[in-house]
Amino acid sequence: MPPFKFDKIDRKILDILQADGRITNAQLSKDIGLSPAPTLERVKKLENTGIIKSYHAKLDTAKIDLGVNTYVMVSLKAHNKSNIDVFIDAINEVDEIIECNHVTGSHDFILKVITKDIASYQKLMLERVSEIEVVDSMQSMVILSTFKDSKVLPIPSN
């Protein structure tokens, strides 16, 4: 399958759906200047080709009592495939870890961890993450405040 080329109209659709994932097809079609039928067809194609992976509600963490958000940088004892697999499998069991990226630099992984408070954060780290046998060291950055959290990616023009 060729990597599917989308045109200017598709890009506009992607911009709009990133900013408002629940816009109606009727409104979307007005915004991009097409009738509803081809608009829907384009959206479906973007979904079917996997360019649009999914849609999600974004919640206010403070209002659902998730006050302590952190980034945690993790180093493994050795970075062979076996160890990485063990780590990934363990991470996937933990709902509070919502992101896990393998990164360059002096650490191996960076995690994003969402918890209710410091106590639950500490408990999670001590009992669930430190306990993963392949983990060597961890370094936490507690998020004090968030100044930008855009869900709109900068799609290149060409």
Enumerate binding residues for a copy of itself (CB under 8 A): 3-4, 6, 14, 17-22, 49-61, 63-66, 71, 88, 91-92, 95-105, 107, 110, 114-116, 139-156
Least gap, CB of 47 to DNA (angstroms): 10
At 13 the three-state DSSP class reads helix
Of the listed pieces 22-30, 99-107, 113-121, 129-137, which binds DNA according to CB under 7 A? 22-30
66 burial type by CB count under 10 A (0-12 exposed, 13-18 middle, 19+ buried):
middle
User: Which one of residues 2, 17, 18, 36 is an interface residue with DNA (CB under 7 A)?
Assistant: 36
Told to check if 21 binds DNA by CB under 7 A, we report no
In angstroms, the CA 101 to CA 144 distance is 21
Instruction: Pick one of DNA, a copy of itself, none as the site partner of residue 157 (Cβ within 5 to 8 A by kind).
Output: none
**Nearer Cβ to DNA, position 30 or 112?**
30
- Site size for DNA (CB under 7 A): 14
Of the listed pieces 27-35, 52-60, 82-90, 118-126, which binds DNA according to CB under 7 A? 27-35
Largest Cα–Cα separation, the chain? 57
| Residue 35 structure tokens | 């009738």
Q: Give Cα separations from 128 to 16, 26, 96, 133 (angstroms).
A: 39, 47, 10, 10
Told to check if 12 binds DNA by CB under 7 A, we report no
In angstroms, the CA 130 to CA 74 distance is 10
Least gap, CB of 40 to a copy of itself (angstroms): 13
Exposure string for 6-21, b = 16+ CB within 10 A, e = fewer = beeebebbbbbbeeee
Per CB under 7 A, residues contacting DNA are: 9, 24-27, 33-38, 40-42
